[in-house]
Amino acid sequence: MVERTTHIRLEKIDDYRWRIPKDSVPGMRVDGLIIADEKLLQDVAKDQAVQQVANVACLPGIVKYSLAMPDIHWGYGFCIGGVAAMDSKAGGVISPGGVGYDINCGVRLVRTRLTVDEVRPKLKTLVATLFNEVPCGVGVSGDIRVSPQDERRVMVQGPRWAVEHGYGAPEDVTHTEAQGCLEGADPDAVSERAMQRGKNQLGTLGSGNHFLEVQMVEEIFDDEAARVFGLEPGQVTVMIHSGSRGFGYQVCDDSLALMGRAMAKHGISVPDRQLACAPIESEEGQAYLGAMRCAANYAWTNRQLLMHLGRQSFERVFQRSWQELGMELVYDVAHNIAKFEPYDVDGQQRLLCIHRKGATRAFPAGHPELPEDYRAVGQPVIIPGDMGRNSYVLAGSDGAMLETFGTVCHGAGRVMSRTQAVKEAAGRSIERELEETRGVIVMGRGFRGVAEEQPKAYKDVNDVVHVVHQAGLARKVAKLRPLGVIKG
């Protein structure tokens, strides 16, 4: 366990940027850079996240600086909101702690042609239908079963497999980050235990901070980008937050054991054992990448299947096909992932391995990886908040490409541990409070799951998105407000 450190100094660069000089901690190879304002930094000081940013700066092959986004808080190895770029040609490493246990946890946003006035009278029925149709909760299995052969295809093909089997449309794949598929996935690098844990969990929401949320578009900030994304005031949307479930967890667990042994073999020393790593080009590094990509493709498939179940629920309640309801995917973004992307560093273009741990890709207008229909305005960046306040859609900007390796935060960020949140909610009904004070209908599997995710447990996403926008990393497009939520 990393000891709490209070002596690390932060140098203010401007109102939204803070430097950790590389002489702050022995072994730092680069500076640390935290994107936050004074208000958000007050929460950061409560845990070990700043120390973790400094620790990551000690990793071999790290380029430019160790980064943290405005939703920064303590995590495993890397802080949540942590970003690091590694150059394999300079001995760069891959660290499972820089991706996380829930590999490719992420969010997708679905628009509809429905208005809030049409949905409000049926909202309770809709939320109950979603709760009954979408499997959620710890260890819950789904009704979509796959053979061992198809499970391997999911690992390699991602949501293309789902679409080919009738669970969506080709446009869904087009509007998914990386088209829902990381090349180089290697099912042979995945353990039998991970296979077993994943075979019955496709199309399941899980627990923790995962959710399916019915929302409305409350405010538009950028008319042109909103038009391109198909968003307008009063429109109902659906947001889905889930990942690779037990499959990804097991891949991470297996890899951490492998990496622990690899560090001694390769002569690597790190300030925190949770940063266990191996050179990207080593046998161990390649094995992790092959398995991690399988889990990432699995997660994209899982969210595709969850969207399919959501579409079916809307069809049942509104007695129209999902196509008639206009339930089209706006975009799907990954949160916990490592990907190879080209960036200019010191005047040279280098292919870097970008670790994003609780952080979201935010590519600008004109980027060749974006679907053609979004290329003129930039990538949709989806930043969910808590179930009582707001979520946001932004558009990626050149500022992120220049400064943060095309990355922004992935959400609001916790300010209260799960244990604290449960203790704070004792004797209360979070569901009743949200319905009575904010008109939000919440259904969960039990007291603890909802209590852990109460609004007080999170920073105000409005503050977090303000920093992202003002720092020039992405620009605000639309503000969404929750109407109904299902949770594990």
Q: Can you give the length of the chain in residues?
A: 488
Half-sphere exposure of 404 (CA within 13 A, CB side): 32
Structure tokens at 433: 């409070």
Amino acid identity at 307: M
CA distance 94 to 86: 8
Contact (Cβ atoms closer than 8 angstroms) between residue 126 and residue 314: yes
Contact (Cβ atoms closer than 8 angstroms) between residue 485 and residue 387: yes
Say what the alpha-carbon torsion angle 384, 385, 389, 391 is, to the nearest 10 degrees. -20
In a 10 Å sphere around its CB, with 0-12 CB exposed, 13-18 middle and 19+ buried, how is residue 443 labelled?
middle
Q: For 4, which DSSP code? A: P
Task: Evaluate the CA torsion angle 402, 405, 407, 409 in order and state its sign.
Answer: negative
Contact (Cβ atoms closer than 8 angstroms) between residue 266 and residue 94: no
CA distance 482 to 244: 24
Q: Which of 205, 195, 199, 193 is nearest to 140 (CA)?
A: 205
Helices within 343-460 (DSSP H only)? 398-403, 418-424, 430-438, 447-452
Q: Report the side by side order of strands in the sheet with 65-73.
A: 11-14, 17-20, 31-35, 65-73, 80-86, 348-357, 337-345
Active site residues per annotation: 410
Distances (CA, A) of 294 to 74, 160, 402: 26, 14, 30
CA distance 87 to 363: 20
Give the helix/strand (H/E) hosting 237. strand 235-242
Amino acid identity at 170: P
CA distance 174 to 163: 11
CA distance 256 to 263: 11
CA distance 462 to 470: 12
CA distance 475 to 463: 14
